[in-house]
Amino acid sequence: MMTSVMIDTVQDATSACYRILTYGFNIDFTLSSLIWCKLRLFLRQTFALTVLACICLATIDRYLLSCQDVHRRRLSKILNSRVTLPIVPLFILVISSPLAISMIITVNKDNQSTCTYLSTSYLYYSTCVYNPLFLVIIPVSIMTIFGLMTYNNLRQRRITPIVQQQHRLDQQLTSMLLLQIVIIIVSSIPYCVQAVYAAITVNSQKDSFISARDILIMTITSLIFFLNNISNFYIYLISSPAYRKQFIKLIKSRKCFAYFQRNRTSPADVTLNSNNTNRGITFIN
């Protein structure tokens, strides 16, 4: 889960910088650099899939740790081993590589550059295969199945006073994962449906009203899709009392304001320093 938060932070920072340069200063590097044209879609989709993969692995890990069977709990160590973990990034790079290959810079009759797909086959792979299958169907299915099984295991577990605190923490972590699943479902499905619709109607003749409507829907679904990246903090704050307690404690702590308090100058100090300075001045008539 910590890895997914770090990747979300990097993705949000890069996306914000790109949009500020593009729409704020009219500087679009995808139109002048072929490398950035290929990397932008590749990195965006790879980051999104990596975050979902991390959440899926965390959900499976929570299920294995919640099982009463010793052999299943031991599988958690295999899941987090150095041999298993590199397989996931390698798989993501393999299925995401066509996204980098597909993007090229084209120039139309009006001498305007556009970063677009090399062919419609790559467009269909991105919008009809990659987005719905790898960003929605597979991760949502994994998270839903293992999340429900984890919740069922926690309900059936016998609670003793010795393990009551650990059980409470497990419940909080499970609540965080289940709430993340709900946010992912709500934010991902509209985006993928709109992407599939755009791919199907890419060669259709549209008037100005329909084109404006499609752009508006695409903008709304894209903003909703970004909930995957910005919702982690609020999910943890809402679903985990321990996290919320530590956050409130940090806000109330004087350590947050220690730097400003050390460098603050009071009016009394200013008056005293002014009087001391005037005493050392000799006026010559």
Which pair of tokens denotes residue 176?
A: 């965080």
Looking at the DSSP bridge assignments, the partners of residue 87 are none
In a domain, residue 253? The reply is yes
pLDDT (mean) for 202-216? 85
Contact of 240 with 172, CB cutoff 8 Å = yes
Check pLDDT > 70 for residue 7.
Answer: yes
In terms of pLDDT, which residue wins out, 265 or 73? 73
| pLDDT surpasses 80 at 179 | yes
The mean pLDDT of 4-21, rounded to a whole number, is 77
Per-residue tokens: 195: 């992407």
- Residue 284: pLDDT over 60: no
CA 113, distance to chain mean position in Å, is 30
Q: Residue 243 in 3-state DSSP?
A: helix
Instruction: From residue 11, give the alpha-carbon distance in Å to each of 101, 195, 233.
Output: 21, 20, 15
Lowest-confidence pick of 5-14, 86-95, 126-135, 252-261: 252-261
Average pLDDT, the chain: 77
Q: Residue 176's domain is classified under what CATH number?
A: 1.20.1070.10
Is the model more confident about 81 or about 39? 39
Higher pLDDT, 234 or 43: 43
State mean pLDDT over 129-152: 86
- Which is more confident, 240 or 218? 218
> Does 19 have pLDDT greater than 80?
no
Residue 73 domain flag: yes
Domain for residue 145, yes or no?
yes
The pair of structure tokens assigned to 13 is 């920072």
- 56 found inside a domain: yes
Domain total in the chain: 1
Mean pLDDT of 249-258: 67
List, in order, residues 6 or more apart from 119 with CB less than 8 Å away: 102
Residue 282 within a domain: no
Looking at residue 271, its amino acid is T
Please tell me the least confidently modeled range out of 13-22, 58-67, 134-143: 13-22
Is 211 or 230 the better-scoring residue by pLDDT? 211
Q: Which of 254, 243, 221, 170 is nearest to 5 (CA)?
A: 243
Side chain identity at residue 2, one-letter code = M
| 219 in a structural domain | yes
> Is the per-residue pLDDT at 96 higher than 50?
yes
Percent of the chain at pLDDT exceeding 90: 2
Instruction: Check pLDDT > 50 for residue 268.
Output: no
Sequence-distant (6+) residues with CB within 8 A of 188 are 135, 136, 140, 225, 228
Local structure of residue 23 (DSSP, 8 states)? I
User: Is 125 within a domain?
Assistant: yes
CB 55 within 8 A of CB 49: no
Q: Answer for the pair 178, 55: CB distance below 8 angstroms, yes or no.
A: no
Residue 279 has pLDDT above 60, yes or no: no
**Domain limits at 186?**
2-262
- Average pLDDT (72-90) is 75
In a domain? residue 21? yes
Over residues 118-123, mean pLDDT: 86
Element (H, E) at 102: helix 87-102
Question: Does the structure show a pLDDT above 70 at 70?
Answer: yes
